[in-house]
A and B are shown apart, each in its own frame.
Chain A
Amino acid sequence: MSKTNLTKWLFALMLAMLLVLAACGDDTSSEEPEKDPETTEEDPAGEEDPEDAEEPEDGLYSIDDFATTKTNEGTAIEGGTLNFGLVSDTVFEGTLNYNFYSGAPDAEVIAWFDESMLYTDGNFTFTNEGPATFETEPYETDEYPNGVTFTFTIRDNVNWHDGEPVKAEDWAFSYEVIGHPDYPGVRFGPDFTNIIGMEEYNAGEADSISGIEIVDEKTLKITYKESQPSLLTGGVWSYAMPKHIFKDIPVAEMQESDAVRKNPVGMGPFKVKQITPGESVVYEKNADYWRGEPNLDQVVLKVVSPATVVQALETGEVDMVDGFPVDQFVDNADMSNVEWLGVTDLAYTYIGFKLGHWDAEAKKVVMDPEKKMADVNLRRAMWYAVDNNAVGEQFYNGLRWNATTLIIPPFGDYHDPTIETPTFNPDEANKILDEAGYKDVDGDGIREDKDGEELVINFASMSGGDVAEPLARYYIQSWENVGLKVELIDGRLLEFNAFYDRVGQAGEDDPNIDIYQGAWGTGTDVNPYGLYGPDQMFNFPRYESEKNTELLVEGNSLDAFDVEYRQGIYKEWQQLMVDDIPVFPTLYRAVLIPVNNRVHNYSIDYGSTMGRHELAVTQEEAIKHED
């Protein structure tokens, strides 16, 4: 009996070890020294690395070290198939039309076979390089003294995949669909009602939109009531819809139709050949593409789980992905068969303060001077108390870094790096709090409020990902260090929907929330009015001031077409935000994209006009990773 006892335990133990070993078995980087801020890390690879990422001295990376355009090595072959990975935990929805989609995965799928009529430059402003060129002229009437008329001309050789030319009526058609009373999508909004005649059309009072004129087959005129710089950074809806395919489908049923889900037709460099719903799409080249026949024969797009994306890249199963999970970068930075491209993301995270509430009747923000966080000194002290650089370095290895102003660096013309913003300085924070009257009355190390009453600040933060909890805890600890008692509302992180519900995305703010941590994806429009304007529901801090409103309106006015003037306005606005602190930004972040070495001609630079038709490969099979 004792013999079998031992055997049994041995076997059980062995099996357990086997499992552990299997998990560590393909640990290729186990020889690397542990990332440690104190020691310097030698570059293990001696040979010339085509990677541009410089070896970090202390395990930290900087966004400046990443190239935005792939270095081409070797010679490209004709044809070939590229494998593109869509990194996602879940399926893509499959609403494959720019006018109906809502969700980043679908956008990735559409980008291969369809495109915008207008290209943009490094400042996200429309140019004349795209399928359509445009001109503007002022439109002045008594009713609309600041109007503008856009005249778009579509190039001759721009055609849909089924051979039909892309016409002005196709572009007008997308406006007619989005503005239609039965339109079920999310795109309709102020950018559309800015068109003369759109509101009447949308209310069902008119059969057509008076501000849109189809001059001839390739020329379109759209007249807007208010001329604004935002029009040039995405305000104009630049996606057409093949009218000859959609005209017989009722608007309410379009997004379910086969023309959107099963065999969508676009005007981009590749055509959709076959879709496996939710999993993969196969594209073949569109030989008639207006910029030239694509090099590649075929592109295969597959959904890849974030748990296996590293393996997929190493074995060459995918050549590149839409966005690599940044927290997996550190352990895979020296993958030998890819080059890492990096660019600053159009987003920032921030800590927001609740300074009022939303008046649903008047549809505006109402500030409340009795609110707990109403004293700007309190807010400023809280900014001084957190060390965002340390957060960026420790949690993200430098792939996120301290944010300064609310206009992010990718808006190169407008982000002002000279503005001084509070950085980690607990002494300063303590000083500010002492002077403002937040003293520790009962000697327990926690400050009371100005009346000597207990001060507990309720903090709302979202769950999601490994970092969420430690990050929230870190902030709470930082504030405790300067004597402020901050508690997670309900004692834990909130789920995504619950969080935004309570923070006020439907206008019903939870009055118990004092501060919250959020993030914004800014999109390509620098204008911050949608987030900080006095009549915007997304103005979660519920902050307004005369100066703020004045600057925001000026920043998108006729005068702001002058870049220098606009720069001045936004500089003032950024400074105002640093003075008034309705929110303070915490981190900017990087987007990282690995590209297999066999790929040529790919760029993620915001100003690049390199098209997907130029993509090429140097060999039939993807290059595999070698240790």
Chain B
Amino acid sequence: MGAKSVNVEVKSNVVKSPSGISVIWREIVKDKIALISLIFLVLVTAFVYGVSLVLDQKEIVKVDLFSIYEPPNDEFILGTDYGGRDVFGQLIIGTRNSLSIAILVTVMTGVIGIVYGLVSGYFGGHIDNIMMRILDFFMILPFTMIVIAFVAIIPKYSVWTFSLIMTAFLWMGLARLVRSRTLAEKELDYIQAAKTLGTSNIKIIFKHVLPNVSSLIIVSMTLSLAGNIGLESGLSFLGFGFPENTPSLGTLLSYARNPQVLEHRWWIWVPASVMILLLMLCVNNVGTALRRATDARQRRG
């Protein structure tokens, strides 16, 4: 008993000295790729959000019959699309919208998924059973059908409602992962030790289990953020995403459904595609650095 309590104290001493944030920061700085990616992300985000405050969305989506399908030239940096609308302007606003959705959805699904998974995995037994069955029910909900029904029934939907709907369908994956990992973790000695010491369940969950599951969470949330950037593009393809007067990377990409656009008018969809790719890569790189930061053995800094 005496030896064990010494262990616990020593451990907490070691962990306290560099704060979490500085560890992460150091890790990113040491990894050049991650640093570049982070800078890129910050720049793009600032640019996109900043400029779209200035840009007039109404002007951008105004249909100009006489500029249809113009290739990139002096007047339009990235050319125009089927309605004669400036593609570059749409790209900026579109990136802002897509980023907003991606961040919103990732944060919401993250919070719900982590808490759900932790609670379910930690308590196990009947609680786990019931919670998992509820989760199963959510999982079998037919995604496409409900989205289509929503679009048909709800007259006006915006970035918020869209994100909410997406969240309702996406939190399950993370919850399942966290739960199975928690199930395994809670059998480990240090958890048993904490229990024996009489630590409250909430404290155990959030101070002990959570940090050890964090690697999994970070990987998952990174993937999820990266994935959510292109999330509504799939729906836009099917015609259930945003109307065209709310540009997003997905709507720009969905113009490529027309083989003529795909082959001959690349300036409409390629920038959106490249933007998605770059954003995803950057998020991944930063996420990799984060992941390394959480596991002391893998740190470079």
Contacts and interface: CB of A to CB of B under 8 A. Distances in A.
B84 interface: yes
B264 A20 contact: no
A24 B260 contact: no
A394 B152 contact: no
Contacts of B239: 463-464, 495
B66 A5 contact: no
Contacts of B255: 466
Given A490-B156, A495-B152, A328 B260 contact: yes
Contact of A470 (B84, B261, B264, B281): B84
B266 A395 contact: no
Interface string A291-329: 000000000000000111010000000000000000110
B33 A5 contact: yes
Contacts of B266: 20, 23-24
B243 A477 contact: no
B274 to A, nearest CB: 6
Contacts of A42: none
Which 4 pairs show the lowest CB-CB distances between chains A and B?
A: A470-B83, A492-B243, A469-B244, A473-B63
A470 B270 contact: no
B63 A470 contact: yes
B124 interface: no
Contacts of A308: 259
B156 A491 contact: yes
Contacts of A206: none
A156 interface: no
A19 B34 CA distance: 25
Given A473-B83, A490-B155, A491-B155, A20 B65 contact: no
B62 interface: yes
B274 A470 contact: no
A211 B151 CA distance: 50
Given A24-B266, A26-B263, A466 B66 contact: no
B156 to A, nearest CB: 5
A251 B85 CA distance: 55
A203 interface: no
A576 interface: no
Interface in B206-256: 239, 243-245, 255
Contacts of B66: 37, 394
Contact of B65 (A1, A26, A306, A391): A391
A307 B105 CA distance: 32
Interface string A458-475: 000001101101100110
Contacts of A12: 277, 281
A27 B264 contact: yes
B71 interface: yes
A23 B65 contact: no
6 contacts: A5-B32, A12-B281, A16-B274, A20-B266, A390-B65, A469-B244
A5 B261 CA distance: 34
A477 B63 contact: yes
A136 interface: no
B13 interface: no
B264 A327 contact: no
Interface of A: 1-2, 5, 8, 12, 16, 20, 23-24, 26-27, 29-30, 34-35, 37, 306-308, 310, 327-328, 330-331, 390-391, 394-395, 463-464, 466-467, 469-470, 473-474, 477, 490-493, 495, 497-498
A469 B84 contact: no
Given A310-B259, A328-B259, A394-B68, 8 more contacts: A5-B33, A24-B266, A35-B69, A327-B258, A331-B263, A395-B82, A466-B261, A474-B65
A535 to B, nearest CB: 30
A27 B245 contact: no
A492 B239 CA distance: 12
Contacts of B244: 469-470
Contact of B82 (A23, A328, A470): A470
A615 B65 CA distance: 42
Query: Which residue of A34, A463, A466, A493 has the most chain B CB atoms within 10 A of its CB atom?
Result: A466
Contacts of A473: 61-63, 83, 245
A394 B71 CA distance: 15
B270 A29 contact: no
B262 interface: yes
B94 to A, nearest CB: 15
B167 to A, nearest CB: 22
B26 interface: no
Contact of B32 (A1, A23, A29): A1
B257 interface: yes
Nearest to A311: B259
Nearest to A306: B259
B270 A327 contact: no
A37 B70 CA distance: 12
Contact of A29 (B84, B245, B264, B277): B264
B33 A8 contact: yes
Given A394-B66, A395-B65, A498-B152, A469 B243 contact: yes
Nearest to B251: A469
Nearest to B148: A495
A34 B63 CA distance: 20
B278 to A, nearest CB: 9
Contacts of A331: 260, 263-264
A536 B84 CA distance: 40
A467 B32 contact: no
Contact of B277 (A16, A23, A330, A470): A16
A467 B257 contact: no
A491 B58 CA distance: 13
A61 B216 CA distance: 60
B243 A466 contact: no
Query: Which residue of A34, A490, A492 has the most chain B CB atoms within 10 A of its CB atom?
Result: A492
Contacts of B152: 495, 497-498
A330 B258 CA distance: 13
A394 B66 CA distance: 7
Query: Which residue of A8, A306, A473, A474 has the most chain B CB atoms within 10 A of its CB atom?
Result: A473
Contacts of B281: 12
A327 B260 contact: yes
Contacts of B258: 327-328, 466
Contacts of B260: 327-328, 330-331
A157 to B, nearest CB: 46
Query: Which residue of B65, B266, B270, B274 has the most chain A CB atoms within 10 A of its CB atom?
Result: B65
Contacts of B36: 5
Contacts of B264: 27, 29-30, 331
Interface string B62-96: 11011011010000000000111100000000000
A307 B258 CA distance: 7
A524 B255 CA distance: 35
A623 B239 CA distance: 37
Query: Which residue of B61, B85, B245, B263 has the most chain A CB atoms within 10 A of its CB atom?
Result: B263
Contacts of A5: 32-33, 36
